[in-house]
């Protein structure tokens, strides 16, 4: 039986490979561990994507319903993502909701919801995520601007 999140993670890795193929850089961060595998510290967020016209960091999550219920780790990641957004990056949570519905939830949207006292983020109202399509549109715009 495949481990939880394996298919979702594979889809993200395909996008990372695409970014590399078009001359950018994308990678998954990993927690710090000792040589024997003992866990030391978690990563601030899961992924980083760097292209001249698109720089983003995001953390990927899966949930089995139409609502994502944040836990303590998510709050810490929100703070780290916000620092990156303040530095000019796109910063978001990538949530795979039930029925493989993948949504991109901007860190500022998360912060606004947290300010209301809620730690529950609905799928509805947040954009779908298809980074390859986003990058293709930006690549076309970049090519038009340079020609």
125 domain residue, yes or no = yes
> What confidence tens digit (pLDDT) does each residue in 17-60 have?
999 998 999 999 877 777 777 766 667 788 999 998 889 999 99
Instruction: Look at the chain and report how many structural domains it folds into.
Output: 1
CA dist 60 and 20 (Å) reads 19
Q: What percent of the chain has pLDDT over 90?
A: 55
The pLDDT-based confidence of 114 (bands split at 50, 70, 90) is very high
Q: Would you state the pLDDT for residue 110? A: 96
This prediction's pTM: 0.82
pLDDT at 55: 94
pLDDT in tens, 83-94: 999 999 999 999
In this prediction, residue 30 carries a pLDDT of: 78
Q: What span, in angstroms and rounded, lies between the C-alpha atoms of 107 and 82?
A: 6
72 lies in some domain: yes
CATH of the domain at 73: 3.40.1350.10
Domain residues for 71? 6-29+39-111+120-146
């Amino acid at each position: 039986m495949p481990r939880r999140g394996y298919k979702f993670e594979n889809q993200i890795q395909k996008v990372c490979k695409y970014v590399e193929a078009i001359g950018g850089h994308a990678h998954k961060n990993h927690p710090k561990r000792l040589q024997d595998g003992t866990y030391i510290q978690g990563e601030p967020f899961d992924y980083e994507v760097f292209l001249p016209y698109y720089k983003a960091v995001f953390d990927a999550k899966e949930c089995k319903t139409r609502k994502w219920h944040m836990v303590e780790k998510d709050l810490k990641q929100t703070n780290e993502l916000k620092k990156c957004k303040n530095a000019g990056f796109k910063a978001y949570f990538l949530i795979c909701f039930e029925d493989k519905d993948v949504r991109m939830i901007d860190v500022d949207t998360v912060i606004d919801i947290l300010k209301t006292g809620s730690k529950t983020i609905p799928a509805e109202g947040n954009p779908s995520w298809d980074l390859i399509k986003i990058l293709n549109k930006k690549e076309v715009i970049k090519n038009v601007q340079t020609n």
